[in-house]
Amino acid sequence: MTTETLVPFAEATERYEPVIGLETHVELGTRTKMFCGCTTTFGAEPNSQVCPVCLGLPGSLPVVNRNAIDYTIRIGLALNCEIASWCRFARKNYFYPDMPKNFQISQYDEPLCTDGYLDVEVSGKIVRAGIERVHLEEDTGKSLHVGGATGRIHGAEYSLVDYNRAGIPLVEIVTRPVPGTGADAPVVARAYVTELRDLVRSLGVSDVRMEEGSLRCDVNVSLAPRGSAVWGTRTETKNVNSLRSVQRAVEFEIERQAAVLDAGGRVKQETRHFHEENGTTTAGRSKEEAQDYRYFPEPDLVPVAPPIEWVAQIKAALPEAPSKVRARLRDEWNVSAPEMDAIVNAGALDLVLQTVAAGASPADARKWWLGELARRANEAGTELAALAITPAQVARVAELVEAGSLNDRLARDVIDAVLAGEGDPDEIVEARGLAVVSDEGALAAAVDEAIAANPEVVAKIRDGKTQAAGVLVGAVMKATRGKADAARVRELILQRLT
């Protein structure tokens, strides 16, 4: 737990102006690594996807992955960037145990993509985050520190390194400082990473799964007294790996830095670690003095010069941006902005879209994915897309309800069975005998039995208290094991008694 003093967020943003900046790392979904032919499957046996090139063994030579260049250009174009006609890789020299070569092949002063932007909507306003650069590099390996209380190297008994991730193509997307967001700064940061994640996913270049580390974010925050002409000293919270944590990291740093400044102290320029369990940050390493990474051009790689025609082909094939898709679907589906936000925040937009394409109405698709299925996903602690039911199956359930073959209760039973792997909706309805009782004679008989068994309720209805019909409806539904159409049952009851 942190022992640092905090200033309440509302007070902090009333007296100080935050400036945020985000450095987002995206692992590209190429089949092989950036400079060698090793595969990139997540979760493989440690150190089973390595070779002399990605281990940096003497005499091995890198070769650029063309698909990684293609994917990076896609990202740059989608972010409205200029694409360099000529750029090159550099060696970034520094030592970490998970850097098998003791340097990283990256891009320095000549990145592939520069000078773009991404717009996000927060509190009804458009905030533009300027993109300074999008550059390509190789990822590092993964260290595991065993023993100790924190999972970090300090206090650990020993450390292990898995080099499977070393050499995977990694794109770094760096924003310019984003001022003027005030108390919305944490929400803007989250909205930016959310929009960026959706954009990259739509391009088909990465699965952007934050829980697996294929999307990681470094969060920069500084504070200055309101009206000051000079921005404050920034901190950099490293490797934040969830959307909620991005927002919480900004909030905490604003509260912490405000307390430092209120006490007459000086904010240190440093990296910080974010702690998921309590939403706090703690100091990492100082960045008071500029690090000299001794960049120099990578001597084993030729410069990259994407032909203009190739870039034009990539641009022409870009999909519709998620923001434009949402705006179009809002009109087509006749939903409000908050309703669309609910769909997006639930991770259901693609699922609803596919369900509509399979024949369901937008209202029915939203109803099932955001209602019953969202509840099942929450109970299982998983994402909607991971549920064992397809959009086509959901559309069929909706169609059966619309046709009167199922009511909502029976539809939930069908969904349960689909999730349990019992088959498609039609197979389950037939096997379990779940179809709605639509025979008028059978319904009439059940209604008559309910009327005969509840004379007190019947008297109330005949006295004009028609809301009491709900008791008789419930009795009929129980008698038919939920297979009756409740609306039709109510009609029959009132026809007989009023």
Q: What is the pLDDT of residue 426?
A: 86
Burial 5-35 (b: 16+ CB within 10 A, else e): ebbebeebbeebbbbbbbbbbbbbbbebbbb
pLDDT in tens, 197-212: 999 999 999 999 888 8
pLDDT in the model for residue 150: 67
CB 182 within 8 A of CB 17: yes
Mean per-residue pLDDT, 249-257: 97
The count of other CB atoms within 10 Å of the CB of residue 423 is: 15
Residue 1 confidence class, pLDDT cut points 50, 70, 90: very low
Rounded CA separation 31/42 (Å) = 11
Q: Where are the domains of the chain?
A: 9-310, 320-432, 440-497
Is pLDDT of 34 > 70?
yes
Q: What is the pLDDT of residue 110?
A: 94
Comparing CA positions, the residue from 244, 10, 24, 205 lying closest to residue 129 is: 24
Q: Is the pLDDT of residue 457 over 80?
A: no
Rounded Cα distance, 121 and 244, in Å: 17
Phi-psi category of residue 115: left, alpha or beta, with phi > 0 → left and psi -120 to 50 → alpha? left
Query: Can you tell me the distance from the alpha carbon of 94 to that of 85, in angstroms, rounded to the nearest whole number?
Result: 29
Rounded distance, CA 53 to CA 120, Å? Answer: 40
The pLDDT value recorded for residue 431 is: 77
What pLDDT was estimated at residue 456? 73
Give pLDDT, residue 28.
97
User: What DSSP assignment string belongs to 369-404?
Assistant: IIIIIHHHHHHHTS-GGGSS--HHHHHHHHHHHHTT
- Give, as one character, the DSSP assignment of residue 368: I
Q: How confident is the model at residue 76 (pLDDT cuts 50, 70, 90)?
A: very high
Of 30-34, 253-257, 427-431, where does mean pLDDT reach its minimum?
427-431
Which residues are CB-neighbours of 479 under 8 A, at least 6 positions away? Answer: 446, 449, 450
CA distance 11 to 327: 36
479 pLDDT more than 90: no
Does 441 have pLDDT greater than 60?
A: no
pLDDT at 31 over 80: yes
End-to-end, the C-alpha distance of the chain in Å comes to 68
> Which one of 126-135, 433-442, 485-494 scores highest in mean pLDDT?
126-135
Question: What does the mean pLDDT of the chain come to?
Answer: 88
Could you give the percent of the chain with pLDDT greater than 70? 89
Which structure tokens are listed for 401? Answer: 């309800």
Q: Which residues contact 108 (CB under 8 A, 6 or more apart)?
A: 90, 92, 295
369: closest CA among 351, 345, 393? Answer: 351
For range 424-450, the mean pLDDT:
68
Write down the H helix ranges in 79-206.
Answer: 185-203
Per residue in 324-381, pLDDT tens? 999 999 999 999 888 888 888 788 998 999 999 999 999 999 999 999 899 998 888 8
Q: What is the pTM of this model?
A: 0.79
In words, the CATH class of domain 440-497 is mainly alpha
The model's pLDDT over 132-142, given as tens digits with 9 standing for 90+, comes to 999 999 999 99
Rounded Cα–Cα distance for residues 180 and 108 (Å): 29
Q: What is the DSSP string of 98-122?
A: T-TTSEEEE--SS-SEEEEEEEEEE
With H, G, I as helix, E, B as strand and everything else as coil, classify residue 116.
Answer: strand
Instruction: Identify the band that residue 473 occupies on the pLDDT scale cut at 50, 70 and 90.
Output: low
Left (φ > 0), alpha (ψ -120 to 50) or beta: where does 105 sit?
beta
What tokens appear for 63 in the block? 């070769």
- The pLDDT assigned to 435 comes to 60
Q: Give the least confident one: 36-40, 335-339, 469-473.
A: 469-473
